[in-house]
Amino acid sequence: MKQRVYLCIDLKSFYASVECVERGLDPMTTNLVVADPERSAKTICLAITPAMKQLGIHNRCRVFEIPKGISYIMAVPRMQLYIDYAAEVYAIYLKYISKEDIYVYSVDEAFMDVTDYLLLYHMTARELGQYIIADIYAQLGIRATCGIGSNLYLTKVALDITAKHAADFIGELDEERYRETLWDHRPITDFWRIGAGSAERMFKYGIRTMREITLADENLLYRLFGIDAELLIDHAWGREPVTLQDIKSYRPSTHSLSNGQVLMEDYPYDKGELIVKEMTDLLCLDLVEKGLFTKSVTLMVGYSNHLNIPAAHGTVSFDSETSADKVIVPAVAKLYERIVNPAFSIRRVNLSCNNVIPEEYHQYSFFTDPVLLEKDHKIQEAVIDIRSKWGKNAILKGMNLQEGAMTPTRNHQIGGHKSGV
């Protein structure tokens, strides 16, 4: 099999860099954080500039954790602007690489299979990476880093660890170089997919490095991590069988659709139910817009952070697959009333539509009136059409105007943050 060559390009401190570029400032010398000043001092900074990182401030810190003596600009998040910049970056990628060979991993990071392009351009992988990075900076003023590897895992590790110490911000790894240079690297949490919890579990058994994972008893690793131990062991050796084309061609056997939010403050029981109804209503519109139906909905409600009690969980099933708000919203409201303790305040809500199917596979139940449901479906489609033309707040329901309702505010957000438009 032909040896693959991958690039992974990451836009450096992306949100903060965009805000600096928009202000005509250099993120390498400007102290700037992206955070919403309307939230509390405990709000998390979505991004900070490299200049602030050089001062020892950690990315994703909270505003109050920034030392008082440091002056900085606080930029309100503008999520739509960041998406627009990311689209321009993607257009630059397409100048060099076909979309079939690009996998967008996040808004600021993308993998590319460049195996068949190196001969075409008469370049090494490093030269191609340098060329693309230079083009991004020339066109948009955004700096980037790059990882190069013989598989996707090594490419990501080269980006996350090796590139940081390279003069040109490009890291390069194959299995041999990985074992020579990173087998004893610490902390182990620097490696892709190893979080603090996993590291703590291994630490109890004296496992602190990738080398020590390869020497550990595999039965122990399977007891600690279950089936995920197989991936952990492969990664410790620098192996990764999944290719970019495997990811691009993957189609899950089951599908779900979800919606979640962390509330700005603790909500009492009754206002919490209002939030759940609003979120369920939006989830129904999402189903209709995507041409999907669901057989059941799972609700998770997390209580106040001050209460050390587990979240409430429950699932409601329907007679047949549906996307009708007149069916789903009342059913989820009843589920909320059944599983949530009214004595406690609410802070987090998550909803998930389970085992969703395309509209063409839907069959009506004997216990429902198809005429009424079709009428409701047409109303939902009309609402979607109006919102797409005139904005999400062009048409609202009465509950969206009640005290504590969040839909009008969330309609101006992307990913829970201000869109900036």
Q: What is the CATH number of the domain that holds 384?
A: 3.30.1490.100
Residues with Cβ < 8 Å from 382, sequence gap 6 or more?
Answer: none
Question: Are 337 and 196 members of one domain?
Answer: no
pLDDT digits (tens, 9 = 90+) for 164-183: 889 999 999 999 999 999 99
What pLDDT is stored for residue 254 in this prediction? Answer: 58
User: How far, rounded to the nearest angstrom, does the alpha carbon of residue 343 sit from its chain's CA centroid?
Assistant: 33
If DSSP states are collapsed to H, E and C, what string results for 332-372? HHHHHHHHCCCCCCEEEEEEEEECCEEHHHCCCCCCCCHHH
Compute and round to an integer the Cα radius of gyration of the chain. Answer: 25
3-state class of 331 per DSSP? helix
Question: Are 401 and 323 members of one domain?
Answer: yes
Cβ neighbours of 300 (radius 10 Å)? 16
CA distance 389 to 80: 17
Task: With respect to residue 167, please indicate whether it lies within any of the assigned structural domains.
Answer: no
Task: With respect to residue 134, please indicate whether it lies within any of the assigned structural domains.
Answer: no
Q: Give the residue from 421, 418, 406 showing the smallest Cα distance to 34.
A: 418
Tokens linked to 96: 């060099």
Which whole-number Å values give the CA distances from 383 to 95, 190, 270, 387, 389, in the listed order? 39, 46, 26, 6, 10
Instruction: Say how many domains are in the chain.
Output: 3
Boundary residue ending a domain (209, 224, 247) = 247
Domain housing 239: 183-247
Boundary residue ending a domain (192, 218, 247) = 247
Q: Which CATH number does the domain housing residue 196 bear?
A: 1.10.150.20
What pLDDT is stored for residue 418 in this prediction? Answer: 57
3-state class of 196 per DSSP? helix
What pLDDT is stored for residue 308 in this prediction? Answer: 84
Boundary residue ending a domain (79, 97, 121) = 79
In degrees rounded to 5, what are phi and psi of residue 257? -135, 130
Question: Are 320 and 354 members of one domain?
Answer: yes
For residue 79, give the H/E element and its range. helix 79-94
What pLDDT is stored for residue 366 in this prediction? Answer: 46
pTM for this prediction: 0.73
Q: Give the residue from 149, 399, 172, 185 showing the smallest Cα distance to 282.
A: 399
Question: Are 368 and 301 members of one domain?
Answer: yes
Task: With respect to residue 110, please indicate whether it lies within any of the assigned structural domains.
Answer: no
Task: Please report, rounded to a whole number, the percentage of residues in the chain having pLDDT higher than 90.
Answer: 65
3-state class of 263 per DSSP? strand
Question: Are 228 and 275 members of one domain?
Answer: no
Angle at CA of residue 115, ends 113 and 121, nearest 5°:
110
Task: With respect to residue 299, please indicate whether it lies within any of the assigned structural domains.
Answer: yes
Q: Give the residue from 264, 257, 337 showing the smallest Cα distance to 301.
A: 337
Task: With respect to residue 202, please indicate whether it lies within any of the assigned structural domains.
Answer: yes
Q: Give the residue from 44, 45, 49, 61 showing the smallest Cα distance to 17.
A: 49
Question: Are 243 and 356 members of one domain?
Answer: no
Question: Are 240 and 294 members of one domain?
Answer: no
pLDDT digits (tens, 9 = 90+) for 285-304: 989 888 888 989 999 999 99
Question: Are 319 and 218 members of one domain?
Answer: no
Question: Are 223 and 261 members of one domain?
Answer: no
Question: Are 356 and 265 members of one domain?
Answer: yes
Q: Which residues of the chain have pLDDT under 70?
A: 1, 252-254, 359-373, 405-406, 410-421
